[in-house]
Every structure is written in structure tokens, then in C-alpha cells.
Amino acid sequence: MRVKNWKAPEIFQGITNQASANALEFMDDVADGARRLCPIGTITREGDFVKATISFTPKTGINKDKLVKFDTDKRWTARAPFDLVRTIRRKHRVTARGNNIRVYAGNFKIYWAFMVEYGTLSTGWGGPAHKQPFLRPPWNAKKRNVVKAIKDGQI
């Protein structure tokens, strides 16, 4: 059987565009779930940039499993309820390798997203903080469903 006037590039572009739109919607759902789970916080205080000594042990990279320390004067001390929730966002970039869609939390001033997600062992700033995952649970819940939806042809 022969198909006449088949416009393969247009058809494939349409499929790609629909898949991209579905992926954006999927990641918007992940970001919404993260906002719902994110701790709101109860501290309100004025702030400024202060000096701080940062120390951590990376799990990957050239400094893997080595204690890394550095001083900075860029530590913002202000806090307000909902600060972290307001920083949760979806980013979309199209590159030569394809679409890149991610959900981020935190920014230059609201730097503690990873501390909330993974907890801390530090005894500074009032003791260790217990982990309160808010990004991974919505991602894990959605990724199981998206694989099934793709297999069933729903996406």
C-alpha cells in the first residue's frame, strides 16, 4: 500500500509540539504539588546580607566526599512566611539536544530549599533540621503515572 501526499515533517512536528505541551503540563502539576507540600514557615524578620562560613560535603563532582568550606558575605537573613513557596517555578529551555523542563525552588536570597528538602546535620542556627521533602514526592508520584500514560497512548 502506498500513501500519497504524506506530509511527514508537519506530522512529526505536530506530534513533537503536543508532546512538549504535555510535558510542560506534567511539570506544572509537579510544581503545584511542590507548592502544596512546601512548609510555609513561621518566622518573620528584617534582614540584610551578612558574612557566613559555608561548609558541606558534595556527593558528586571533583570534591566528592571532601569537606568544602568557604566564607561569603552574601548570606541574606530576612525571613517571611511563604518565601520558599513563592520561589517554586517551572523552567523550560529548548536546546539542540531537545526540551529541558525542570522545577526549581529557591533563589539568591531564599537559599535554603535544599536544607528543607534534605534536612541538615549542622548544629548551627538552632540545631539540625529534619528533612521535609516537598519537591521529590510530587515528582515521584507523577512520573509513575506519566510512563503509564505514554504507554497507553494518552500523552
Statement: residue 123 has pLDDT above 60: no
Residue 139 lies in a domain: yes
Domain count, the chain: 1
Kindly give, in sequence order, each residue whose CB lies less than 8 Å from that of residue 137, ignoring residues fewer than 6 positions away: 33, 37
Q: Which residue has the higher pLDDT, 153 or 4?
A: 4
pTM higher than 0.85, yes or no? no
Q: What is the mean pLDDT of residues 102-120?
A: 88
Residue 60 lies in a domain: yes
Residue 112 lies in a domain: yes
Residue 67 burial (10 A CB sphere; 0-12, 13-18, 19+): exposed
Sorting pLDDT into bands at 50, 70 and 90, what band is 66?
Answer: very high
Q: What is the mean pLDDT of residues 71-86?
A: 83
Q: What is the mean pLDDT of residues 109-124?
A: 81
Q: What is the mean pLDDT of residues 105-126?
A: 81
Q: What is the pLDDT of residue 151?
A: 63
Residue 10 lies in a domain: no
Alpha-carbon distance of 111 to 106, in angstroms, equals 5
What is the residue range of 91's domain?
38-151
Residue 14 lies in a domain: no
Residue 55 lies in a domain: yes
Q: What is the mean pLDDT of residues 29-49?
A: 89
Residue 31 lies in a domain: no
Alpha-carbon distance of 38 to 110, in angstroms, equals 13
Residue 71 lies in a domain: yes
The three three-digit cell numbers of residue 62, written as one number: 571533583
